[in-house]
Structure 1
């Protein structure tokens, strides 16, 4: 007997429809949230990767070309170290000797004019600090930066000749023992980066010195002659213009006459000066002439090698006080070749006199602003 299957009818009520709707909405929200999370995660991931990429140091390669035949040449390693310390990642580094065939090919390829040099390639625009270090001293060639603005001496990349070597010749007059020394000037020139491969002192009577004196019309000694590749030191010319000239053949000749010096035309020493201080030893509160005037005289570049100090009460001082009619103490008296110091001569009139024998006598003791002795009344005058 066949069983009868009962047919069930699904009855939908308002409540069941509401529940189904809620389910659809929940599923949609869940799906949207999942999609949004995936999208947001992708954005965050991309942002992280982008940040990492931006933070990644520039990757560069360095190729240095140098030479063992020029020990005095510029040390390019100092530039290499600056590049390495600019926050880059040097992934490849090499060194070639100037004499090698490979170096010559590189020189021709990048239009290199001077050696030593360093070629920087890679992510050149990625690092601003790298640009600050390299750009001022390099030019762009073949997609790489070639460092070619270096200090002399260096090799001419085409000829291999050393550029920037200079010889210094100091010409002195041996009879002028008080003449200034040029050693401090030579040391200063070297400190400015001038490569002096030769530093000679020539006596004025030597054949070479006479040749220089005649060729460059030198009228005062000591003098300094710089011969060589001075044109490689472009910034030095403006400095030298303050103390010397540049001859037509490029030779630098010192012209400033700093006393004491030897005048070749007059055949005598110029600028030797004697200084005499007379102190008011009977006045305990009066100022000291030597203490007050010494730094002022030094400002006028007077040599203080011939200095004498006397007490006013001494017989020798009394003779001088009477001879030059000195009415106020302490006193400053100067003699010999003061005319070699034009700045002092021009400043002297308001404060002193020049006697008939050429002696300079300081008269304006009030200028010190301190107590002094009136010789006539033998009284102390407050400053």
Structure 2
């Protein structure tokens, strides 16, 4: 009987020891997991320190800046410890252009002091190129920008306003389309006003088979404004030479004149 009791006690001791060891392991694992989660949380709270380098082309006065992007970066719990602006013709800038295969300017290089945390990388993934776990590159993709391959500013739109001085009731294309361009963020030059009775105007009417006036003719770089170009498909045409010709007068609800019938159409 005594031997049986001793066996039971030994069994209980072993069982208790095993349970205790298991609890220690579980507690240890829980502590490790908790520490990892706390560490991750602290990393999220802690500002990401980084430097910014902006490379621009000094000849491109029309090019968009990176100011909005910089504001967005600092709004993501980022502390900028160093900020540098370089001109594309500087040796240091040339090294960056070659190393990161940059094709458009301005460009912004974000270099973190430590590995870029996941939440920040996710916030920055749109319209950027991840170079490494510490470096992210943005190139100006919304026109106007400077194209390094062609060495030209692209996205600055030339506009011809084709008017009809014989129609006093007809709308002013420069006035109406100024608002349209602004709404779509399109950068345009001053524009050229041409009357359809002028030699140039007569040639344009014939070349593009224009039926209704006044209208506008936009240069080829309009294609760089993706959203605007897609909307244009419903209101105008894209010619063989790349020019954009406005044709659907009813879409702007303005008074115009049909050149074939001479009829004036009011909204």
Per the TM superposition, whether the score is higher than 0.5 is yes
2:147 equivalent to 1:263 = yes
Which residue of 327, 330, 333 maps to 2:211?
327
2:62 equivalent to 1:182 = no
| Bigger radius of gyration among the two | 1
Alignment-derived partner of residue 123 in structure 2: 239
2:106 and 2:140 in contact (8 A); partners too? no
* Aligned mates of 1:233, 1:152 — CA distance in 2: 10
Alignment-derived partner of residue 79 in structure 2: 195
| 1:211-360 pair list within 5 angstroms | 211-229=95-113, 231=115, 234-255=118-139, 257-310=141-194, 317-360=201-244
Give the aligned CA root-mean-square deviation in angstroms.
Answer: 3.1
Partner SS for 2:257: strand
Partner SS for 2:143: coil
**TM-score, normalisation: structure 1:** 0.52
**TM-score, normalisation: structure 2:** 0.72
Partner SS for 1:257: coil
Which residue of 55, 61, 64 maps to 1:171?
55
Alignment-derived partner of residue 16 in structure 2: none
Alignment-derived partner of residue 206 in structure 1: 90
* Aligned mates of 1:376, 1:211 — CA distance in 2: 60
Which residue of 361, 370, 380 maps to 2:245?
361
Partner SS for 1:273: coil
1:172 and 1:204 in contact (8 A); partners too? yes
Equivalent residue pairs, number: 230
Q: Which runs of 5+ in 2 are unaligned?
A: 1-36
Structure 1 pair 233–289 and aligned structure 2 pair: CA distance change class (3 A) = farther
Offset, 1:244: 0.3
1:170 and 1:224 in contact (8 A); partners too? yes
* Aligned mates of 1:267, 1:337 — CA distance in 2: 15
Q: Which runs of 5+ in 1 are unaligned?
A: 1-137, 140-146, 154-163
More helix by share: 2
Alignment-derived partner of residue 76 in structure 1: none
Alignment-derived partner of residue 142 in structure 1: none
What does the per-residue CA deviation read over 1:289-342, in whole Å, with 9 as the maximum and x for residues that have no partner?
A: 234333333344321234334555666545544443322112011114233234
